[in-house]
Structure 1
Amino acid sequence: MQHSRRVAVIGAGGAGLISARELSREGHQVVVFERNNQIGGVWVYSPEIESDPLGLDPNRTRIHSSLYKSLRTNIPRELMGVRDFPFVPREGEDRDPRRFPSHKEVLKYLEDFANEFGICKLVRFRTEVVFAGMEKLGEWRVEFRCENGDVDYDIFDAVVVCVGNFSQPRIAEIPGWPGEQVHSHNYRDPEPFRGKVVVLIGYASSGGDISQELIGVAKEIHIACRSAKTEPLDEESIISNVSFHPMIESVRKDGTVVFQDGCIVSADVILHCTGYKYNFPFLETNGTVTVDDNRVGPLFKHVFPPALAPGLSFVGLPFKVVPFVISQLQSNWIAGVLSNRIALPSKEEMLADVKAFYEELEALGKPKHRTHKLGGYMPAYCNWLAATCGCPPYEEWRKEMFVATDVNRMVNLESYRDDWHDDELIHQAYEEFSKYTTNEISQNHSN
């Protein structure tokens, strides 16, 4: 017999909106808590930056968004959308039909999604969750600060945490550096770096984008990355003011930076493109769930803490993934478990699975902070979720398009968003989309 539960969803970004829909479809009563005045989460751009640009001061002004002004997606729209609500080009003012659209277009897509499925009526805006913990067996107390500053509470059968992982900076420790330091969370445009010698740490998504923006603006750009590249991956973008180094060995009081290759640079600013920390300051589990070197655990399949399942769950923790599709599958699983449509393994079996997973990571030499990095394991993870939920398997074209995009980005960093060679995969995607949309998209999908 299926049951309807009262469920609190914390966060109205992509993961929260998708979770709200899946839970509602399953018949659950959903309340979404959102501290800001609109949906979209990290996709809501703000030109403001925090009072501490490095993000260390606990009393700093907090800005949720980590978007830079020029940001475009680094995966194509065909991959980004929810499976049954494709992210296709739409007509209208200020719409961006590009295959790798701007952050504004992603926000519009989420607004389209919320409007299509009536999600906004489930959201309590300007309501910040300050505490979520188990009141007693089977009951969760959620305390929240209302817009007028008062703190109130409500009781739920379950809590789904959807707060994202792109707002609490994770930085490289550089003791003794006297100069300016900024985390990419507080980078908006290249102008503040004009004429400066910049040491940029990290060369993943944000590091690659920002380094391209700084070319022609900064006096010199010195990129420190663990893979110790000796030249930019995009051969055509080799510029005399860009250098690659292994990581920083030390810094000196006179503002010079010494790299592990022995190179010494007199720098003006260090820009940390070093990612983010998982952070759940409101969550009280009496130590059952911890964040240890950016490993949130123990979690069965990145979602359920075995000791507290199914009352507590997380959506959207994995990275190096296609986030909306994973959020859809994870929240479908949660919804089915809460309604008794899907059975979880026993607590002991889940803990054994987590232990085996951690041992596998250790054997492969992967550090704790990469626990939730899926990358090439994403299709297998999605297929496990899909099989568990009774959903169609992860489409082969999605797998191939993800790999093709990754390869194209590595060899063509400067222009991969506008120059691609996977038209057959695009065709397969739009064949799939035709099941769900009547939009006239066949003429637009290769733009």
Structure 2
Amino acid sequence: MPVEKKYKKSVAIIGCGVAGLVALRHFSAEGSQFKCVAYEQTDNVGGTWVYTDKIGTDKYGLPVHSSMYKSLKTNLPKEIMELPGFPHKGPEDKSYVAANEMLKYLEDFADYFDLKKHVKFHHHVKNISPLDGDRWLITVVELQTNIVETLEFDGVIICIGNYSNPVIPDVPGIEKFCGMKIHSHDYRDSSVFKDKSTVVIGCGPSGLDISFDISKVARKVYLSHHNQRVKNMECPSNMVQKVDIKEIVENGVIFQDGSYEQIDSVLYCTGYQYKYPFLSSECGIYVENNHVKPLFKHTLNIEHPSMYFIGIPTNIAGFYMFDLQVPNLTIISTNVIHF
């Protein structure tokens, strides 16, 4: 009697950074009940770890995803920035590594598990809409040929990362300012700040790291923030910590304590926001106060439980979290995604 073939459920993975690679590894593993395809709009895996000189929009007119800059090194030890079962090959006495080393690690991971055969590079996802039976209609554009496809899937996993949509605060008077204004998303190297007096707004990891980087070439760096934990931090001689900004004027900045400094440039290190412009309103997902809703455990779309989000929580050991989130999805998906 012929053995009936079991239907493999189709899963679309959106994005091929760390989260997308982890999802691809588990959902395409030998014996998996799923068949997957990952859509990546660039020409490589790695997501935010892929450096590009381009800022603004790419050659296809799409927003540049990566916020990577040339001097970046990991601010966490590589030992907690690795994926289970695939350790870093670098020297044991070197824990903090450069971005290109992290990218090489992810490329090696993709090659080791033969994941690239599942990836459609240069594919931009334009729209995702729900269908009956918790299935999905996904429209993608092959960017090199401009060919548009619309396909159906049993499930979809959103893995687009957290660091590509910059937050620009509303600073009083900024419209009067005559100098350069950029967000850390568009920062690539310190050369544009050579001999300038710059105010850096924000002192998260990027704010601190970039402030120290540009202080090597800038005339003066004013780090404006309200974080009491770093107020006693030792800074370079040309870097001064300042309180929050009261107002920007034509050629300078007035701080909340009434002090004034003349500046040539403003660098926003003010973080990022979640955006999903390719999700139709019928998906039921919205962002409120930078919280993605309505999700169960920051992962499962409550309105449509065959849509999942990987990597939303921040201030965590991301690589390990991704690898904890995804295997649970393979179990949930088996029960939720309809045959």
Q: CA–CA distance in 2 between the matches of 1:17 and 1:180?
A: 37
Q: Quick one: structure 1 residues 71 and 239, their matched pair in 2 at CA, closer, same or farther if it must change by over 3 Å? A: closer
Alignment match, 1:35 = 41
Contact persistence 1:198–1:269 (CA under 8 A): yes
What TM-score do the two structures reach when normalised by structure 2? 0.90
Contact persistence 1:139–1:155 (CA under 8 A): yes
* Greater share of residues in helix: 1
Give the ranges of 4+ consecutive aligned residues of structure 1 lying more than 3 Å apart after TM superposition.
228-232
Segments of 5+ residues of structure 1 without an aligned counterpart are 53-58, 91-95, 343-447
State the Cα RMSD in Å: 2.3
Contact persistence 1:196–1:268 (CA under 8 A): yes
Q: CA–CA distance in 1 between the matches of 2:267 and 2:207?
A: 9
SS in 2 for 1:48: coil
Contact persistence 1:8–1:33 (CA under 8 A): yes
Q: CA–CA distance in 2 between the matches of 1:49 and 1:203?
A: 22
Contact persistence 1:200–1:272 (CA under 8 A): yes
Please list the CA deviations of residues 388-437 of structure 1 after superposition, one character each: whole Å capped at 9, or x if unmatched: xxxxxxxxxxxxxxxxxxxxxxxxxxxxxxxxxxxxxxxxxxxxxxxxxx
Alignment match, 1:315 = 310
2:270 to 271, 274, 286: 274
Alignment match, 2:161 = 164
Structure 2 residue 195 is matched with structure 1 residue 195: yes
1:340 to 327, 332, 335: 335
Alignment match, 1:439 = none
Alignment match, 1:151 = 148
Alignment match, 1:429 = none
Equivalent pairs, count = 325
Contact persistence 1:73–1:103 (CA under 8 A): yes
Shift of residue 139 of structure 1? 1.4
Please list the CA deviations of residues 356-407 of structure 1 after superposition, one character each: whole Å capped at 9, or x if unmatched: xxxxxxxxxxxxxxxxxxxxxxxxxxxxxxxxxxxxxxxxxxxxxxxxxxxx
Contact persistence 1:47–1:69 (CA under 8 A): no
Structure 2 residue 205 is matched with structure 1 residue 205: yes
Contact persistence 1:228–1:245 (CA under 8 A): no
Bigger mean CA offset, 29-38 vs 3-12: 3-12
Please list the CA deviations of residues 341-363 of structure 1 after superposition, one character each: whole Å capped at 9, or x if unmatched: 99xxxxxxxxxxxxxxxxxxxxx
SS in 1 for 2:322: helix
Contact persistence 1:202–1:224 (CA under 8 A): yes
Q: CA–CA distance in 2 between the matches of 1:17 and 1:44?
A: 14
Equivalences for residues 236-251 of structure 1 within 5 A: 238-251=235-248
Shift of residue 51 of structure 1? 6.5
Q: Percent identity?
A: 35
Alignment match, 1:180 = 180
Q: Quick one: structure 1 residues 341 and 300, their matched pair in 2 at CA, closer, same or farther if it must change by over 3 Å? A: closer
Q: CA–CA distance in 1 between the matches of 2:196 and 2:131?
A: 54
Contact persistence 1:232–1:244 (CA under 8 A): no
Q: CA–CA distance in 2 between the matches of 1:297 and 1:269?
A: 36
* Greater share of residues in strand: 2
SS in 2 for 1:75: coil
Alignment match, 1:89 = 90
Shift of residue 231 of structure 1? 4.2
Contact persistence 1:230–1:244 (CA under 8 A): no
Alignment match, 1:72 = 73
Equivalences for residues 25-424 of structure 1 within 5 A: 25=29, 26-50=32-56, 62-89=63-90, 98-146=94-142, 147-177=144-174, 178=177, 179-227=179-227, 231-233=231-233, 235=234, 238-252=235-249, 254-286=250-282, 288-309=284-305, 311-340=306-335
Aligned AA (1:337):
I
What TM-score do the two structures reach when normalised by structure 1? 0.69
Contact persistence 1:133–1:140 (CA under 8 A): yes
Shift of residue 336 of structure 1? 1.1
Q: Quick one: structure 1 residues 246 and 332, their matched pair in 2 at CA, closer, same or farther if it must change by over 3 Å? A: same
SS in 1 for 2:282: coil
Contact persistence 1:7–1:160 (CA under 8 A): yes
